[in-house]
Amino acid sequence: MGIWIVNGRTAEGEKIAVLAENGVIVDIVRGDAADAVTTDGREVVDAGGRLLTAGLIDMHVHFREPGFEYKEDIETGSRSAAKGGFTTVACMPNTRPVLDKAETVAKVVARGESVGLTRVLPYGCISIGELGRELADYEALRDAGAIGFTDDGVGVQSAGMMKEAMRRAAALGMPIIAHCEDDTLLPGGAAFSVGEFVKKHGLPGIPNESEAIHVGRDILLAEATGVHYHVCHVSTEQSARLIRLGKQVGVNVTAEVCPHHLLLSDEDIPNATDANWKMNPPLRSPRDVEAMIAAVEDGTIDIFVTDHAPHSEEEKARGVERAPFGIVGLETAFPLLYTKFVATGRWTLPFVLERLTSRPAQLFGLPTGKLEIGAPADLTIIDLEEERKVDPATFASKGKNTPFAGWHLKGWPKLTMLGGDIVWSELAEKGSDEFVS
């Protein structure tokens, strides 16, 4: 029984060996002693001197099941997560039907468990049908396994409805997770942000304030209700400013940012035809990108998420106007953050990993995200040296929609362990690119 992972390195560069047994971490040996562990005939995985971290956590993904399985399903989404080094993902409820009933939430939980490749934690809807008219039954959704409430994909348009949603969530000690977008500030047919790109192409633009106005509104409502209010995919300088202020005055507000909003601006969009550059929120100005990086650095933004939003190739080929918003992210998130922020010396490896493991766990009360005796044995081995070109054809996800195709990145996951079981590995001794479930 049990698996020893030997010859690992922590984010801080210390040698480490970890014993997983009965689903949990039962022993951790650090420093030179890690070279001398007695494995007592147990299965041994040689990390080969690579990074060994707690499994990554992504609090914002779209797995599309039920209803849009042609884009992604819980099995392919879970494979994508495992291959990207993620052992916990929180799934958005904008499926068909949406997750506004206990029974649909319970099905997602059950499907996630039967696939068994990553921990699938669903969010329930704020409003029935995500229509913003009537609130869902939060107690029932929670009892079925929902970990919070959101209408991601659309903003909650009515302040009064959002306040009541927060009041009810707060009474249950549950968070409200918000896609911030005021529809009355959106021009028709806009795919890209106000900025140089829409100016050049003579297109209508999505303004920054359509996001930020909800952020400001909701921080006031969170102050009034005491709810844990979490802002989805922050993309504007104005939103960051408001979240910073909210935190300063003691509001329980937290926030996430996606790698693409830290790495790409509207000025990187190559043309007005490739819908792999269309996502919501859109890529903003270089000034907003700088503001996102600063907001991560001063703690205004708490965690990294992917907003993994797979769509079919046919949908993304419909032309920028008609194609749906969204890009995939699970299989490029760590390599992007590592290559562009750690390898460049801007951030340390522990700084990045904290925002992908222990911080999200802490914000949402998860038992995972830490390398500690007694913690679930969710572990990831990552090769920080190997450089590879992003090739969507190799993605385990059904979604190939990424603007990062062709980028040369380092920091590729090599093995993912979930609850003590190896669920994916491309280490030599385990064969190549192999899922085990």
Catalytic (active-site) positions: 307
Residue 203 binding ligand NCD, by CB under 6 A: no
Report the amino acid identity of residue 336. L
Segment 291-330, which members bind ligand NCD (CB under 6 A)? Answer: 307, 309, 324-326
Give the interface segment with Zn ion, choosing from 137-145, 202-210, 227-235, 419-427 (CB under 5 A). 227-235
Interatomic CA distance for residues 296 and 249, integer angstroms: 18
Going by C-alpha positions, the residue among 94, 104, 165 that lies closest to residue 130 is 94
Which residue, 247 or 311, has its beta carbon nearer to ligand NCD?
Answer: 311
| Interface mask toward ligand NCD for 22-61; x: CB under 6 A | ----------------------------------------
The count of residues interacting with Zn ion (CB under 5 A) is 5
Residue 376 binding ligand NCD, by CB under 6 A: no
Check whether 151 is labelled as a binding-site residue: no
Which residue, 81 or 232, has its beta carbon nearer to Zn ion?
Answer: 232
Candidates 73, 130, 151, 152; binder of Zn ion (CB under 5 A) is 152
Check whether 341 is labelled as a binding-site residue: no
Candidates 10, 80, 87, 94; binder of ligand NCD (CB under 6 A) is 94
Residue 73 binding ligand NCD, by CB under 6 A: no
User: What residue has token string 């992007």?
Assistant: 336
The CB-of-179 to Zn ion minimum distance in angstroms stands at 3
Question: What are residue 380's DSSP bridge partners?
Answer: 53, 416
Check whether 401 is labelled as a binding-site residue: no
**Largest Cα span, the chain:** 69
Which residue, 94 or 118, has its beta carbon nearer to ligand NCD?
Answer: 94
The CB-of-59 to ligand NCD minimum distance in angstroms stands at 12
Candidates 9, 62, 163, 340; binder of ligand NCD (CB under 6 A) is 62
> Which two tokens mark 150?
């959101």
The CB-of-391 to ligand NCD minimum distance in angstroms stands at 22
Residue 72 binding ligand NCD, by CB under 6 A: no
Segment 145-184, which members bind ligand NCD (CB under 6 A)? Answer: 152-153, 179
Please list, in sequence order, all residues whose beta carbon lies within 8 angstroms of the beta carbon of residue 256, skipping any fewer than 6 positions away. 59, 60, 230, 231, 232, 233, 234, 301, 302, 303, 304, 305
The count of residues interacting with ligand NCD (CB under 6 A) is 12
The CB-of-144 to ligand NCD minimum distance in angstroms stands at 21
The CB-of-281 to ligand NCD minimum distance in angstroms stands at 7
> ω into residue 281 within 30 of 0, thus cis?
yes
Residue 71 binding Zn ion, by CB under 5 A: no
Residue 340 binding Zn ion, by CB under 5 A: no
Interatomic CA distance for residues 176 and 120, integer angstroms: 18
Candidates 142, 179, 230, 410; binder of Zn ion (CB under 5 A) is 179
Binding site listing: 60, 62-64, 94, 152, 179, 233, 280, 307, 311, 325-326
Binding site listing for substrate: 62-64, 94, 280, 311, 325-326
The residues binding ligand NCD (CB under 6 A) are 62, 94, 152-153, 179, 279-280, 307, 309, 324-326
